[in-house]
């Protein structure tokens, strides 16, 4: 169920998890454990998948976004939580209310898991255990270049964060993420560390290297638990499985 799990312990109120494909009820390449793609999966399956993940983590509230590859960050405060229904993380199919369009979440509120959904894009979870500030961001090629990670760090610091750990989850690696040569040039102009080559010798992008350089420059401590999605069958990959790829979840929460 998890490619990486660090539950809250006496030293930290913050729990971190990256899910994999195992342990859910979705069908075919969507599954079994799909935490996104409510547009094509059976909503009952996605609902059950979240229930199972929540039971394993000891969490029963999830905040999700309609991810749009932008730099916007949502602050999950008491006011937002007061209006957040029990099925709202499942999106408009369950509630009739569309999710907010943004690509990062930050909070100081305990008992709720911030959840980013990806299949090849880079998920980053942020923790300042001492100050009790957490965050989660979706950083694909476009969002990374648009600055979603610095924006998330800024939003955490506005909530009082000091030393921030940034945990990278599974994403497509630089040896696999083939892009056109002109796209590599464009991205590398702003993010030089992204410039890479596939294992078969064509232009590619290294999202992890670019994100690590960005976050180290901002004083974050980077921790990487990030196997390649494309070459790891136990992980969802859009490049490998196409339009019917499921989504893994990156979850961070503060224990009550």
Within 144-183, which residues bind Zn ion (CB under 5 A)? Answer: 173, 175-176
Q: Measured between alpha carbons, how far is 48 from 112 in angstroms, rounded to an integer? A: 18
Q: For residues 37 and 240, which CB has a smaller minimum distance to Zn ion in the complex? A: 240
Q: For residues 5 and 175, which CB has a smaller minimum distance to Zn ion in the complex? A: 175
Q: Which stretch binds Zn ion (CB under 5 A): 1-9, 99-107, 226-234, 239-247?
A: 226-234
The minimum distance between CB 163 and Zn ion, in angstroms, equals: 31
| b (16+ CB within 10 A) / e for 157-191 | bebebeebbbbbbbbbbbbbbbbeeeebeebbeeb
Could you say whether residue 228 binds Zn ion (CB under 5 A)? yes
Q: Measured between alpha carbons, how far is 143 from 158 in angstroms, rounded to an integer? A: 21
The minimum distance between CB 177 and Zn ion, in angstroms, equals: 7
Q: Measured between alpha carbons, how far is 89 from 91 in angstroms, rounded to an integer? A: 5
Q: For residues 175 and 222, which CB has a smaller minimum distance to Zn ion in the complex? A: 175
Within 26-65, which residues bind Zn ion (CB under 5 A)? Answer: none
Q: In this structure, how many other beta carbons lie within 10 angstroms of the beta carbon of residue 214?
A: 24
Could you say whether residue 231 binds Zn ion (CB under 5 A)? yes
The minimum distance between CB 183 and Zn ion, in angstroms, equals: 18
Is 2 strand, coil or helix?
strand
Q: For residues 155 and 228, which CB has a smaller minimum distance to Zn ion in the complex? A: 228
For 69-105, give the DSSP string.
SS--EEEE-HHHHHT--TTGGG-HHHHS-PPPB-SEE
The minimum distance between CB 116 and Zn ion, in angstroms, equals: 20
Q: Measured between alpha carbons, how far is 245 from 240 in angstroms, rounded to an integer? A: 8
Could you say whether residue 99 binds Zn ion (CB under 5 A)? no
The minimum distance between CB 176 and Zn ion, in angstroms, equals: 3
Could you say whether residue 232 binds Zn ion (CB under 5 A)? no
Cα–Cα nearest to 74, from 151, 181, 189, 171: 151
Q: For residues 125 and 235, which CB has a smaller minimum distance to Zn ion in the complex? A: 235
Q: Measured between alpha carbons, how far is 69 from 75 in angstroms, rounded to an integer? A: 17
Could you say whether residue 122 binds Zn ion (CB under 5 A)? no
> Which residues are near Zn ion by CB under 5 A?
173, 175-176, 228, 230-231
């Amino acid at each position: 169920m998890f490619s990486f799990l660090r539950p809250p312990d006496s030293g930290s109120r913050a729990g971190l998890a990256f899910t994999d494909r195992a342990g859910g009820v979705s069908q075919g390449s969507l599954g079994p454990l799909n935490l996104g793609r409510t547009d094509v999966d059976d909503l009952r399956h996605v609902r059950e998948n979240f229930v199972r993940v929540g039971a394993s983590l000891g969490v029963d509230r999830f905040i999700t976004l309609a991810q749009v590859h932008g730099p916007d960050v949502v602050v999950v405060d008491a006011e937002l939580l007061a209006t957040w229904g029990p099925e709202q993380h499942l999106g408009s199919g369950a509630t009739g209310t569309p999710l907010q369009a943004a690509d990062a979440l930050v909070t100081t509120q305990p008992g709720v898991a911030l959840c980013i959904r990806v299949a090849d894009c880079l998920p980053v979870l942020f923790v300042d255990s001492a100050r009790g500030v957490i965050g989660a961001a979706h950083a694909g090629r476009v969002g990374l270049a648009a600055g979603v990670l610095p924006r998330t760090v800024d939003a955490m610091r506005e909530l009082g964060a000091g030393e921030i750990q940034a945990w990278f989850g599974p994403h497509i690696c630089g040896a696999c993420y083939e892009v056109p040569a002109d796209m590599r040039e464009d991205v590398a102009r702003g993010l030089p560390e992204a410039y890479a080559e596939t294992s078969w010798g064509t232009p590619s992008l290294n999202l992890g290297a670019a994100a690590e350089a960005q976050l180290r420059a901002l004083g974050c401590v980077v921790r990487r638990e990030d196997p390649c999605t494309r070459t790891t069958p136990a992980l969802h990959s859009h490049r490998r499985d196409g339009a019917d790829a499921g989504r893994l979840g990156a979850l961070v929460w503060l224990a009550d």
